[in-house]
A and B are shown apart, each in its own frame.
Chain A
């Protein structure tokens, strides 16, 4: 056959040109890069606004303040990537704290109390995953329901009271420090780094992107869609559990009402970090940077003396900018 099939690429010759422009372009296309620059700008500006900003005390506070949202957003990224979402993380977080508290007060050793707490959290995630993948329930409604049910059960179990007087050995999990930073900061960093690596490199976690990008095609390719979805719901619930244990240990008591407002900032962090509710997109690094950005902004506004009521306005505005950026990028 003498005829050669000839075609031209949709995006033409400009690609080949200057390597530098290409690098810059791909950096500007990278959500993580934009977020890192934004963080850097805020830090530099704040350094001049207030001498207190870059003190160790403030940095410690910043890091600890990011841990709870940050840890959960790592797991939430996975759920969003598969095309789902989880509103029940706040209730799961409280559940883990209460289960740990009850176990500890019943004289169960710290290790086992923590394991029970995580198991209970994981169970919520497993149920969410089961409903959503096997029974094809809508993720929003399903997790809204489990959010309400779990919170209700907590009130029933605890009669609405917080569980106080937790043993010191347990409280150390949240209050102990290493090199001047509280332990949860390290848990957060480890989870973020390992999570980001796994979602980029590991076969199992990478499958989440296939599932979220096109569920039907994933099925045709022999990918076990249901299992991948359940896995991600269990992971986000476990991370919510870890966050709950950390909070409980830091406060030295298990609260029933803790985490009621958690799901929204977690979702905001993920979306700012590049995830979308359509699935198939988002990275752990992006979500973690998003969580930092939200915390940093609140911190900066506090230091700059801008009223607390304004903080929500800014948080919302950032969220809108993130979406605007997406639209702009796709043009």
Chain B
């Protein structure tokens, strides 16, 4: 299957932006019927390559051959007409329109007269969706659907235009495990039907059993192209980062003893979000919270912080009853919460690195008359920059211009900066490259061994298992299982997370099935 004729041939593409060479003599071949992955860290040049293939950017030099003919697209409309469809990283559908209107959006004007035949549209949509194995009423508004489904519909929309090559730019970034699985099945199905895929990602684990070939990009250059059968995940990581990632997650110092219980939640309920949740956290412990989307993990901790209402239950902190009324209260109680979506609820992208770093405690940087003391801010920002290796031209730089990994480092330093006694991190390594990942884990361990308790909310199974001392699993708003690190396996955790087994129902027992 992977030995079809060469469909797309990219030779010696070079592209520079002011100050950086984003792509340096990149060459690549995509064969008919192939699923070909391009992997690389943030900033390796993956997105630039996609943008050039899609006609968004123009290459400085080099050649793109499609079916042996040189092509030079000026925009994505030309690209799609030429047979290359691109699925961007962020979903860009029309939330208020129906599924039918969404998937036919590029075809609506094919009728001579400018009126839509709604019935016909819905009928056609049903028909097409069935071909792709999606059973859903096409009159539904897209905004009512899950992200995973919207992602697929977006693909359907492009596929209906008949491209022979589909380029997908990190499509699983905001999908959970189930959704990722069904997306892969969907894509394999497309592939069988004859569409060749160029699949951009930095998640290595998802490649196996899915792609045929993998090309590794690093610092704008091709490192190698390999058949997937001939590489392991560790090989790929090494090739991608350019050095061996040893001990990605780190290990707890053997002599380190977990301390006393100091934070406890008893029978916490918030109607419609979670119910009867009890757990505790000890000094120097890393406690993991795993669950699928909708399990209520984020909601639980936001409710503890007073951002969602609580209906019953109590929270004990250092032996005393605690009722937090909002983020300000939490910060005053030295509880830090790193939100899951750094762009949406974590960072101030239009503001400087320094102003972001002080955001949760700006008041501590004022003088007697309420003015911000720039020397204090500068000193603090410099210290954080050094400690977290934040790469930025200046500390005044708008965060918008920093890479995703560096933004995440700023977010972590913001909250480490308040010197928390409890640090709650929600998807701490979402969308960051492996180098930054390692750095974040190292920092968390460092803080942890300083005695603070850390709660890690994550959908990344290896992360949860490797990083946490104890793992609590939630399913549909309830705690269904709890494991110590040494007992945890991916299979067991998934069994509890999908609700197949539960300590509540007595089908398994605490600490192991």
Q: Which A residues have a C-beta under 8 Å from some C-beta of B?
A: 1-3, 5-15, 201-204, 206-207, 209-210, 213-214, 216-224, 280-281
Contacts and interface: CB of A to CB of B under 8 A. Distances in A.
B133 interface: no
B392 A9 contact: yes
Given A8-B20, A11-B19, A203-B371, A221 B393 contact: no
A213 B351 contact: yes
A216 B349 CA distance: 12
B337 A7 contact: no
A217 B362 contact: no
A5 B19 contact: no
Given A203-B366, A213-B349, A6 B344 contact: no
A210 B363 CA distance: 13
Contacts of B88: none
B391 A8 contact: yes
Interface string B387-430: 00101111000000111011000000010000000000000000
Contacts of A224: 328
A222 B331 contact: yes
B327 A10 contact: no
Interface string B230-257: 0000000000000111110010000000
Contact of B19 (A13, A213, A219): A13
A213 B348 contact: yes
Given A13-B19, A203-B363, A222-B327, A7 B435 contact: yes
B347 interface: yes
A250 to B, nearest CB: 34
24 contacts: A1-B247, A3-B243, A3-B244, A3-B245, A6-B435, A7-B391, A7-B405, A9-B393, A10-B20, A11-B18, A11-B20, A12-B18, A202-B370, A202-B371, A203-B370, A209-B348, A214-B345, A217-B347, A219-B327, A220-B360, A221-B360, A222-B330, A223-B359, A280-B350
A185 to B, nearest CB: 27
A220 B372 contact: no
B400 to A, nearest CB: 9
B173 to A, nearest CB: 19
A284 B409 CA distance: 32
A5 B244 contact: no
A216 B362 contact: no
A280 B399 CA distance: 13
Nearest to A12: B19
A210 B20 contact: no
B343 to A, nearest CB: 8
Contacts of B337: 220
B417 to A, nearest CB: 11
Interface string B428-441: 00000001101100
Contacts of B355: 206, 209-210
A1 B442 contact: yes
B171 interface: no
A84 B171 CA distance: 34
Interface of B: 18-20, 43, 219, 243-247, 250, 307, 326-331, 337, 339, 344-351, 355, 359-360, 362-363, 365-366, 370-372, 389, 391-394, 401-403, 405-406, 414, 435-436, 438-439, 442
Nearest to A219: B327
Q: Which of A3, A6, A11, A214 gathers the greatest number of chain B CB atoms within 10 Å?
A: A214
Contacts of B331: 221-222
Contact of A204 (B20, B370, B392, B406): B370
B43 A7 contact: yes
Contacts of B372: 201-203, 206
Contacts, number: 127
Contacts of B392: 9
Nearest to B41: A7
Given A11-B393, A214-B350, 17 more contacts: A3-B244, A5-B435, A6-B435, A7-B403, A7-B436, A8-B391, A9-B393, A202-B371, A203-B372, A206-B362, A214-B344, A218-B348, A219-B307, A220-B337, A222-B327, A224-B328, A280-B348
A311 to B, nearest CB: 33
B19 A14 contact: yes
A133 B202 CA distance: 41
A236 B96 CA distance: 36
A220 B327 contact: yes
Contacts of A214: 344-345, 347-350
A14 B18 contact: yes
A9 B391 contact: yes
A280 B435 CA distance: 32
A71 B359 CA distance: 30
A277 B415 CA distance: 30
A255 B136 CA distance: 63
A213 B350 contact: yes
Contacts of A201: 371-372
B360 A7 contact: no
Nearest to A276: B350
Contacts of B328: 222-224
Contacts of B327: 219-222
A-B complex: 10 closest residue pairs judged by Cβ atoms: A12-B19, A222-B328, A216-B345, A222-B327, A213-B348, A14-B19, A280-B350, A12-B20, A221-B360, A15-B393
Contacts of A218: 348, 359
A14 B414 CA distance: 28
A77 to B, nearest CB: 15
B335 to A, nearest CB: 11
Contact of B403 (A6, A10, A14, A281): A10
A15 B436 CA distance: 23
B30 to A, nearest CB: 28
B126 to A, nearest CB: 37
Contacts of B345: 214, 216-217, 219-220
Given A9-B391, A14-B19, A280-B351, A221 B359 contact: yes
Contacts of B435: 5-7
